[in-house]
Each structure stands twice: as C-alpha cells, then as structure tokens.
Structure 1
Amino acid sequence: MNGGGKVVCVTGASGYIASWIVKLLLLRGYTVRATVRNPSDPAKTEHLLALDGAKERLKLFKADLLEECSFEQAIEGCDAVFHTASPVKYIVTDPQTELIDPAVKGTLNVLNTCKKTSSVKRVILTSSTAAVLVRKPPLEPNDVVDETFFSDPSVCTELKLWYPLSKTLAENAAWQFSKDNGTDMVVIIPGFVIGPLLQPTLNFSAGFIVDMINGKNPFNATYYRFVDVRDVALAHVKALETPSANGRYIIDGPSMTINDIKKTIRELFPDLYIAETNGESEMKEIMTKEIIYKVSVEKVKNLGVEFTPLESCFRDTIISLKENCLL
C-alpha cells in the first residue's frame, strides 16, 4: 500500500484515463478527492463509486474548469494533484470556447489553487502527443520523437488543428507557471489511448476502434499508434511515487497500419463482423500529411512502466465495448 494515509485530487475524474487513475490510486491505498462537473449525473459517477475502496476513500467534488476557485475545496489538504480534465474533440465550431479556454484557463486555475495550497507537493498533468507532433518542417520517417519535441502553436493554427493547439497552449502555460512559481510538476504525454472502459459511455479514442470495425477510418490515416489506458494510468501514479520523476514523459505504442489492426482484431474475434474500410471521414482535413516517425519511450520505461502487448489491448478493449453495449 504505497498511498496509505496520502490524500490526492484527480480532476475530471469521470474521464477515461482519469477513472483508471482513480481506480489505481484506491487500490494503492490513497484517499482520493475526485472532481466532476456534475456529481449528480450517475453516468459520470456510478462507475467511480463502484470501485474497490471507493466507499471508504473516495469523495466527489463539483468543479468547473472555467470557474475560478472552483477546485479549492477538492484540493485543500491534498499531497498531490492529477490534472486530467480537458475537453477532447476534433470537430468544433468555436475552438476558443469549446477547447482552448477550458484547456488553458482550466490548467492555470488548478495550478493557481495548488500554489495556494501548501500541502500540495507535486502536480501531475495529462498532456497529449498532440502537443508534440505538429511542427514545421513536418516529422520525417527517421525522426525520433522524444520529450524535447513541442508542437508549434502557429502551425496548429494555420492548419486549424484546434485540439493540438489547445493541448500545446495548455502545456506551455503550465510550464511557464511552474517555472515562475517553482511548482514541482510532471507531465504525462499519451498517444491515442485504448483499453477497457470503466465509464459507461464511449470516449474519443476508444471510439476509434468502433469506427474501424464499422468500416470508417477516423483520420483517413494508414498508420495508427495506440497505448493501453492501464499503462497510461500507471505512468501517472508512478510519476507521483517516484521522487526523482521530472519533466515530461511520452507514452505511446508502436506504429500499426489500419490493415494490421483489423487483422489482429479478426484473429482475436473471428465471429466479429468487420466492415470494409471506406475512405470517407469527417476528420480527414485534420490529417494534412501523414507521418510515420519513431517514438522514444525509454524515459517512461525508466519510471517502471511496462507496456501491455497490443494484442491484449485490443482484446480487452473489444470485450469491454461489448459488455457496455457500445459495439
């Protein structure tokens, strides 16, 4: 029990990655204060309240990214804060209101509260490879992407890549804040996350698998990379439990073609009907040029994170989607 007696806060706790972070923290003996926008919505809270240890050590708090001071009650007395709350969508009508404000203002809002709360020793922030990959000149096949890579906000804006822009601006603002205020902050940077769902609703990245099975190619891409949600959650917890953890940690899987993904799923589930891929995708404008690149995950492996084999990832994702009647 690493977390015995420790109190931590997880923002946006009903989300896909956050729910797994909460589950893991409870299993490790932490007391968890979880923020959700609407604590009275059972779709957002039931799966959290059902976790092992939740009765004794989980408390829900209402908080909104855009309301100043709205995280104070949840963060008060915490040893550490996991800030995962941030909207994930690629198709937006008003990027500023729908993505950028909640991502940037929300992050600064949470960091400001942490700064005022003397008990908080470390903040673990969830970023995304979207904050790493959009650059000029674009990545080349021999490039090895590591923690020194940042997306360029002007390229994101020029290409209308609003989600990558929101994650890049939020992470930039967080690093500036942490530099100005001496905040001990560690940032976890996952790629597309799949794996079993704890929440009852379909999230953006697990929706990819549903799309592929239904014959859609979400980004009109040939290559995809996936990482297991359980590995991503563990990376967050290890970032708290490893005193020497610092800076950024990329966690992403190997590159796979859409045909390889379907072949793997067919082998695992011979009875599952997988539609032929038709080229149409409402997000095709988003991927301007497809890039195959290498990713260095040495740093996150040094935290003690071992990667779940992709086959297990796909199997557990599909079993979970079926159990939740989402497939």
Structure 2
Amino acid sequence: MRYLDGLGTTRRYSVIGLGTWQFGSVEWGYGADYAAGEAAAIVRRARELGITVFDTAEAYGFGRSERILGDALASSGGTGDVVVATKIFPMLPVAPVVAQRGVASAHRLGVRTIDLYQVHQPNPLVRDPTTMRGMRSLHDVGLVDQVGVSNYSLRRWQAAERTYGSRVLSNQVQFSLLHRDPACDLVPWARRTGHVVMAWSPLAQGLLTARYDATHRPSGLLRQGPAWLPGNLDAARPLFDVLRDVATGHDATPAQVALAWVVHHPGVVAIPGASSVAQVESNAAAADIRLTDDEQVALTEAARAYRPRTGVSALPGLVRDKLPGA
C-alpha cells in the first residue's frame, strides 16, 4: 500500500481507501447477513492490506453504515491507526445542527474523535460560514480532527477554508477516467497546498471494470443511467480495449488499471466500495501499479474519445430499457 506524503495529519492516508455506502443499504441487496458477516470480513481484510481510510456517511443506510463500520473496526483492532471518515447530510447545516449531528455520528461509529468530518453536499441556501462554525466547535472540543467537504467547486472549497480559519483538508468528488474535471483544477491546487482530493465512484459504478458489453449488462439498480445503454457500451469498447491492453502489461485487471489511473495523480485517495473480500484485495493491489506516463496518456485519450449518448438524446433508449424483457 502507498500513503500520501506531507499532509501533517496524525493518521496516514492510504491512496486506496474503502467506501462503505453499501454497508446497510438493503435496497442494493446488502441485507442483515451481509452486515453481520461479509462487511466485517471486508474491513478486517482491508486493514491487513494496509488500507487506512474508511469512508461512510450518516445518509448511507440512514445511519446503518456508520454503525456497521464502527462495529467492524472495533472487532478488528479498534480505530487507533485508521482514518474514520464520515459526512453530515446537509439538510439545514447551521452551526447547532452540525454540532448535534456530529455527536450522533460519533456515537454510531463508536469513536471519541471523528478523524475526518465532511459536508456531504454544498447547500444552495445555507452558506458555509454557519456550517463551518459548527465544524469549528466540534474540532475545538476534540470531537473532530480534520474537516472536509464533498462535491464542492474549487472556489467554494477555498471559501469554506477561509471561513473555517484553518485547513479544510479534503474535497470528496466524483473522479475517474470518465469524470476527469477534478484533474483540471482541484487536483493541481491540492497538490500545491497540501490538501486531499478523495475520489468517489473511481470505477464509474463498475463501468470501468470492462466486464460488460451490449449483450451482457448488469441487472437491477446497478444498471441505472445512460452509460449502460447498449449503444453506449458499444461506444466504450475502444476504451475497454486500452484498459485491457494496459492491464495485460501489469498482470492486472482493467478495474485495477482504472484505479491506478486515479491515484497516479498526487494527493488523491480513491475510495471504491467492495462487495466481497476478493474485491477489496483487488482494489488494494491497484496501489502497487505504477503506470508509465505513456500509459496514463493513452488511457486519458481513450476516455476523451468516448462519446456516450446523454441527456435528451438518451431518453428513447432509457425508455426502451425500462420495458419488460429489455
């Protein structure tokens, strides 16, 4: 495992973390048996592999994810050497509410200090000064170590930091080969200033595993959105071919190469989920893949060439995809 350098934090941040949105999410097929068994095994194995960043949120499973993660960490060695990261759902994130909900999250997680407490989304009506006052109060009493945000623009991230009065360590954003915008502004700024970009959905909800095509698609909730339309999967074949070619050269899988592309960027932590021990082992191994500059460029160019149908042009296909037998 590799870790970010130069952060000046009390805990090490592994470049591959574990996203736990699926813990407690029964609507995605993760039921009580998964919570009691597989989730604990995944967390235990992640720790053995050197993963230190465990990310959850109060919104995941309406607090169940926090409880499951807290129990899994407690049973696998405690929280003294890991980064426990969670997020406040930004419904009325005024200072008193932020403070109250931070206490509630810490209780569900079973920790005295939340290592990284993040604002889950920018609120369009409630500005950051009151939110950051709540974060500051939690930090000052020792309930929160580091503060972060999620899905913030660079300008709003910087403004939140000015309001907070010290470093807002991280910004968790969608970042993958198919969502490359953070590489243009967030990542360079974070590299220069000692901040962290945390990449959610670094495998584009599984699309970048290159396991699917127009005749073999996932089922149920996993097949949501225009990316999974047959025509768009056909359009993705050249990108999948490059992923496979690069993977062959590293004795790896396309998914591992897609993760390696993300963490090739300095100051970035990828937080893929894992539905099994085997998947967390595969994710962790991506940290050891060192892409060459030529491979990084080839992957980026193949991703740029991918032009899926989206928006209004994708609507007819999405409607057909909902019909019985589709």
- Establish whether TM, by shorter chain, passes 0.5: no
- State the TM-score bracket (shorter-chain normalisation): 0.3 to 0.5
TM-score by length of 1: 0.35
Which of the pair is proportionally richer in helix? 2
Which of the pair is proportionally richer in strand? 1
TM-score by length of 2: 0.35
